[in-house]
C-alpha cells in the first residue's frame, strides 16, 4: 500500500515533465545608441588639458573648425594614428583646431603618451568618460569634425579627408 502511495506521488510530481520547457524570449532588438550625426549641432565639450588648463570647444566657434579625436593612451589604433593626426594639425593650422579627448586617463599618462608619440596637439582629459554618451562613441579612435558654426561635418572611425577638413574650416 505504501509503495502505491509513493508511486502515485512520484507520478504526480513528474506530471508535465515531458512537456518542453519554453525557450526564454529574446530581448527586443534595440538600435545601438546614436550620437549626433553629420549636420547636427555638436555637444559642447568642457574639459581640462593634461597641463590643467580648462578647454571649452565653444570658444572655437566662429574662429576655427575642430577635429576631436576620442581614444585612450592604451589603444594600439590610437597610437598608430598620432603622426597622421599631427600632420592634419600642421597642415590646417589656424583653420582647424585638433585635440585628442582621452577617456579614463590621468594627466601623467597623457603627458607620457605625448612625449613618447610626439603628439603636438592638446590632450584633453575625460577621466569620467562624460563625452562617451553625448557623442555615442564606439571603437577608438573616433573622429568628430565640427565646423566653425558648431555643426558636425563628419563622425566616424577614419581620419577625415582634406576636402572635408577644408569645407569645415570655411
pLDDT higher than 70, residue 161: yes
Domains along the sequence of the chain with CATH: 47-169 (3.40.30.10)
Cα dihedral 81, 87, 92, 93 in deg (nearest 10):
110
Report pLDDT digits (tens) over 128-137: 998 888 888 8
145: left (phi over 0), alpha (psi -120 to 50) or beta: beta
pLDDT higher than 90, residue 147: yes
DSSP one-letter code for 58: G
Across the range 58-82, mean pLDDT stands at 91
pLDDT above 70 coverage of the chain, percent: 79
| Structure confidence at residue 31 (pLDDT) | 46
Classified as helix, coil or strand, 5 is: helix
| Structure confidence at residue 139 (pLDDT) | 84
| Structure confidence at residue 37 (pLDDT) | 77
Among the listed ranges 49-63, 81-95, 98-112, 141-155, which one has the minimum average pLDDT value?
Answer: 49-63
Amino acid at each position: 500500500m505504501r509503495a502505491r502511495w509513493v508511486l502515485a506521488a512520484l507520478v504526480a510530481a513528474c506530471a508535465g515533465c515531458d512537456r518542453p520547457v519554453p525557450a526564454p524570449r529574446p530581448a527586443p532588438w534595440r538600435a545601438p545608441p546614436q550620437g549626433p550625426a553629420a549636420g547636427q549641432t555638436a555637444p559642447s565639450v568642457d574639459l581640462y588639458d593634461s597641463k590643467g588648463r580648462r578647454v571649452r570647444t565653444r570658444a572655437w566657434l566662429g574662429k576655427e573648425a575642430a577635429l576631436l579625436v576620442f581614444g585612450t593612451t592604451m589603444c594600439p589604433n590610437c597610437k598608430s594614428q598620432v603622426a597622421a593626426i599631427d600632420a592634419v594639425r600642421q597642415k590646417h593650422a589656424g583653420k582647424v583646431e585638433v585635440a585628442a579627448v582621452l577617456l579614463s586617463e590621468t594627466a601623467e599618462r597623457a603627458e607620457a603618451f605625448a612625449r613618447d608619440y610626439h603628439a603636438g596637439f592638446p590632450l584633453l582629459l575625460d577621466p569620467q568618460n562624460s563625452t562617451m554618451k553625448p557623442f555615442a562613441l564606439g571603437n577608438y579612435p573616433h573622429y568628430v569634425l565640427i565646423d566653425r558654426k558648431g555643426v558636425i561635418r563628419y563622425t566616424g572611425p577614419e581620419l577625415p579627408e582634406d576636402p572635408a577638413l577644408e569645407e569645415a574650416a570655411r
